[in-house]
A = this chain, B = another copy of it.
């Protein structure tokens, strides 16, 4: 009796039992009940602890069996030795979904592996589904639910994460992406494909982010990921690439990390965009959230600094993009902005143009952006600007925002330096411009957008991509 959409009981439960609620409350007690209440979950919550009557003014049940109401989801947060007994009680109570927090099962010794096998057996018989063990459970901003013991910043962003780590829901720096998050832990039952199928039909989710250490059902993954990525981009960090990494993954989530070349091939085939580390995963989540897909590999470069133009041209080649050749019509216009002795047009060296024209620097960027984006030979633009002195004089953000609102099908990415914080905030606020901490990372974002666009172009589907211009 397996649900067609098993993830709904985990992601949108009407009632939750929390087994193993601690008496300790307040900061640093990491009390799951308190955390769920603080986040403002509006469904029913039944805390269980055999030795206590009340915690935080809430009635505590001695056992799952003592709860008379129906339970969608149980979060088992008790020590490893007690887990199996509680899983059995949940199965008897006809609980539909079970999250197991404790470690030391498939990720542990032989005893732990046997316990994990046994709990799967129990669940199969009752029809319950298990998330974990070794899982913090789920976070869902649309119903203010976070089953972890740690507070998370739940923001209504259109990004769904599926991970095998508690690292992601609370969030690495800049990674406020957990609109919805699923921590698979050891993935003994609910696995990455269940998560993908949930996000496939979830209207709030436009981009899917994976952190995985191993995938057991390879054939199903290729089928599901290949289908899902035609409508929603999937960005993945797959670790356990190295021998030491594989050993560490085995001990972390019991995952068989497998041959990395097979994963690489599977990701290519299914259009999954693979990243090297967390920082790149965050970069690309930001890029795919805010930028239109890029229609080709021809890049325009506008730089306040000549060096920035040279460095960006190099980065384009490294990422198999081309520095665009401007059309003759554009060249005539561009040259008008420059002193007569300057031969180059792309990269567009904005400083001499500014010095010759006498116009405010932001005006020069405005002109250059319009020329580049109007050119049919340019598919996207990298804009490099330093912000100094009076902000309005150098601030290119109004020009850039106007340009992306006019040329909606060409992505614009920026690297800013100097006193750039306010300008960066305005650009990010627009939700339509990519701001990156280096030329290299700005160019990489365009290259990976193109990689995904090429996957879509090679895989025309009746289902048009939900994914398009900026979501904000």
Contact = CB atoms under 8 A, between A and B. Distances in A.
Contacts of A243: 317
Interface stretch (A7-15, A287-295, A305-313, A327-335): A305-313
A277 B316 CA distance: 12
A344 B247 CA distance: 8
A340 B279 contact: no
Number of copies of this chain in the oligomer? 2
A145 B213 CA distance: 54
Given A172-B417, A389-B28, A439-B277, A313 B165 contact: no
A242 B306 contact: no
Interface string A337-372: 001111110010101100000000000000000000
A252 B309 contact: yes
A307 to B, nearest CB: 3
B342 A108 contact: yes
A457 B323 CA distance: 42
A249 interface: yes
A315 interface: yes
A339 to B, nearest CB: 6
Interface string A161-187: 001111110111100000000000000
A68 interface: no
A307 B173 contact: no
Interface string A67-110: 00000000000001000000000000000000000011001110
A318 interface: yes
A63 interface: no
A421 to B, nearest CB: 9
A165 B341 contact: no
A244 B172 CA distance: 36
Interface stretch (A191-199, A233-241, A264-272, A403-411): A233-241
A239 B277 contact: no
A21 to B, nearest CB: 17
A150 interface: yes
A367 to B, nearest CB: 19
Contacts of A340: 109
A201 B244 CA distance: 44
A96 B446 CA distance: 48
Given A27-B389, A242-B314, A310-B239, A344 B109 contact: no
A258 interface: no
A465 interface: no
A245 interface: yes
Nearest to A322: B244
A418 interface: yes
Contacts of A229: none
A454 interface: no
A105 to B, nearest CB: 9
26 contacts: A27-B390, A104-B342, A109-B341, A112-B341, A166-B305, A166-B307, A167-B307, A170-B418, A213-B310, A241-B314, A241-B318, A242-B316, A244-B316, A245-B310, A245-B313, A248-B306, A248-B309, A248-B313, A248-B344, A251-B306, A251-B343, A251-B349, A252-B306, A252-B309, A277-B311, A277-B439
Given A239-B311, A277-B439, 7 more contacts: A104-B342, A165-B305, A166-B307, A167-B308, A277-B311, A277-B440, A279-B437
